[in-house]
Amino acid sequence: MLAIIGGSGLYRLPGFESTQRQIVRTPFGDPSCPLTFGLIGGHPVVFIARHGYGHSLAPHEINYRANIWALAEQGVSGIVAVGSVGGISAGVPPGTVAVPDQIIDYTWGRAHTYFEGADIPVVHTDLTLPYDARLRARLLQAAKSAGVDAHDGGVYACTQGPRLETAAEIRRLERDGADMVGMTGMPEAALAREKGVPYACLAPVVNWAAGKGDSVASVTFDSQSQAFAAALESVGKILIAAVTHGSH
């Protein structure tokens, strides 16, 4: 069974037939919302809205440990995390979907590991390749099957939020090698690795990052709505193909 984490705008899965919702308690507190179990094309999936139903949680307020723990406890074969991003590189313009292969963490103050506290041994988790190669390949093949020209690879810069970045900050991220910028990619990827669950990201590009492309001084939701809709439509097609035709 595949798990899907929905980001901004993705509170319902296309083609998803809900069968039940389940409240899950974890040693790290409550997840963003109950888990929703259901079927896509007859194949079981479990879904959670990262920001809660109604988008009530800012990126820095999300209980990432509880979310990943709750999904892992269901015995899922992998986690596909959908997270909207702003495009930095020319190869990821608004309206496209990226499947990043690297990440840089610029967040601070977030609970980012399960291995802390009294009598808990320190564990140094290898995150050389933060996204699972087989699950990434599955998503790229699903995109091909669905007729979606997904961008293969790229560096996801994860910032703290909830504010958007300044143009100077984006120039810094670009110098660091980032291709796209979002606010929720970490510590999700690291926590999934700690739990031993394959994890990959679908990153719909909803606008140019500050100062890039045709971006203006103020990037508003209205200015990105058309690209937002186009990218989410592509994400839906990829998810359906990944669930119904993929195997992991």
Q: Which residues are annotated as a binding site for phosphate?
A: 8, 50-51, 184
Q: Which residues are annotated as a binding site for substrate?
A: 183, 207-209
Q: Which residues are annotated as a binding site?
A: 8, 50-51, 183-184, 207-209
**What is the SS3 string spanning the chain?**
CEEEEECCCCCCCCCEEEEEEECCCECCECCCCCEEEEEECCEEEEEEECCCCCCCCCHHHCCHHHHHHHHHCCCCCEEEEECCEEECCCCCCCCCEEECCEEEECCCCCCCCCCCCCCCCCCCCCCCCCCCHHHHHHHHHHHHHCCCCCEECCEEEECCCCCCCCHHHHHHHHHCCCCEEECCCCCHHHHHHHHCCCEEEEEEEEEECCCCCCCCCCCCHHHHHHHHHHHHHHHHHHHHHHHHHCCC
